[in-house]
Amino acid sequence: MTRINPTDLSFLLLERSNRPFHMAAFIIFQKPKGQHSTFGPRLFDAYRQSRPVKPFNYKLTWLGKNVAAWETVEPDMCYHLRHIAIPGPGSMQQFYETVSFLNTGLLDRGHPLWECYIIDGIENGRLAVMLKVHHALLDGESGLRVLRNFLSDSPRDKTLAAPWTAVAGADKPRRPPSRASQIQRVQAMLKGLAKLPGDLLGVGGDVLDLGVQSLNLKPRKAAVPFTARRTLFNNTAKSGARAYANMELPLADVKAVAKATGTSVNDVVMTAIDDALHHYLREHRAATDRPLVAFMPMSLRAESGEAGGNQVSAELIPMGQPDVDLRERLRQINRATSDAKAKGRGMQTTTRQAYVLLLAGCLAASDTLPWFDKVPSANVVISNMKGPSGQLYLAGAPAVAFHGLPILPPGAGLNVTFASVNTDICLAIGAAPEAVHEPYRLAQLIEAAFQQLQTDTGTTAHGSPSPVPAGVAGT
């Protein structure tokens, strides 16, 4: 058995019927010529006969109250896999409605915590592979890596690969460690133990630092918990229903704006999101007089890290003032994210991991404790991940779209997640209907904000065609 670390365990302990903690994403493929009726069944048969590797063969086992471990089992592929055909005409609206419905229910803890759906019958000869996996098994970065690793760079590769058989490094044989390497591992463990008191002091120091900032005794490097202005986006879900929308921004266009302004791709996309959120509030006569605060996870994973578990930190990022123009909004967000990165670099990894639990607890307080809903710590969750670059294929079928269905953590009614995939920034909106009933409208406002930012920075002529929202779904 493998003991579950505290971060992963928290996703299991905090899960409720109205607050599922699984991630979901889908890739849409253009079926190869001459295989419109056979590609889906062939893929389904191959997946049913496949054999999952870790962490997809991990089943939850409780060892005691609030103590759990992963037990290695042989998954029942008849349970984990489904082949669904959307009835004609197979429109994208029908597809998004299907995806939203499939993503509503909780994963069964009597099985390894994942499901896969092959969704056939999409218009224009397309098919989707949707993967639904618990956040305790994978974080966002490792989830993207899993989805990348089962795809091929070559259209000539006809392998019907599955995500659960392609976890990086998981199924490769390993040579027994030498005596020297065992000694080095023991030495590293001893060094880690020696650092532990300092790391705990570091957490205390960060808590003290938050207190000093809240008294305005020193400049703020981040927002302080329980000081965000409550907005419409803080309305949390009363059920498992979610509303979704997806869109793409051309990556070259976003990079052009970032280069022209001396900022980052992350800053540019955050600026468009922030501006759109304020417009959405004004349209619903719910404007705020303070900057919105984003709870932003940040990856700690090394490039060669394994796929399982969660290796992330997080920060509360104060975004732009409500009424500033887009260029000034971008400057303010760039300053806030730069300060957050500087703060993160000054913390030990153990400290950062404890710090994210502290911030997550502050976020959850407004969802679980009386009165705290009036003083939220953040208004929106924003995540940024690096996805695969280049055109990818599955058994000769080119991938034509990739999107996630963001989860809502405790205390949050809105999550906007974006990732670079091939030549686009793929942006996904997940919301409680009580917070954002019209996610498609929010996607339109993000598109409009980015186009205006291109105009303001003089980069329109260098870009690609205008971004177009990809779709919307709701339950």
**Cβ contacts of 48 within 8 Å, gap of 6 or more:** 77, 78, 81
Active-site pick, 135, 278, 279, 403: 135
C-alpha 429, offset from chain centre = 10
Strands, sheet with 67-72, edge to edge from the N-terminal-most edge strand: 2-3, 67-72, 58-64
- The length of the chain is 475
Strands, sheet with 424-431, edge to edge from the N-terminal-most edge strand: 312-318, 293-299, 380-386, 414-421, 424-431, 243-250, 469-474
Phi, psi of 213 (to 5 degrees): -65, -40
Phi, psi of 105 (to 5 degrees): -75, 155
For the question of residue 135 being annotated catalytic, the response is yes
Nearest to residue 450, comparing CAs of 308, 202, 272?
272
Q: Could you give the CA distance from residue 81 to residue 177 in angstroms, rounded to a whole number? A: 37
Work out the burial of residue 74: count CB atoms within 10 Å of its CB; fewer than 13 is exposed, 13-18 middle, 19 or more buried: exposed
Q: Could you give the CA distance from residue 70 to residue 57 in angstroms, rounded to a whole number? A: 9
Q: Could you give the CA distance from residue 141 to residue 23 in angstroms, rounded to a whole number? A: 12
Give me the amino acid identity at 444.
Answer: Q
**Cβ contacts of 468 within 8 Å, gap of 6 or more:** 247, 248, 447
Listed in order, strand segments (DSSP E) in 261-396 are 293-299, 312-318, 380-386, 393-394
Q: Helices 179-214 and 349-368: crossing angle, nearest 10°?
A: 50
Q: Could you give the CA distance from residue 404 to residue 132 in angstroms, rounded to a whole number? A: 10
**Cβ contacts of 152 within 8 Å, gap of 6 or more:** 159, 161, 392, 393, 394
Which residues does the annotation mark as catalytic? 135
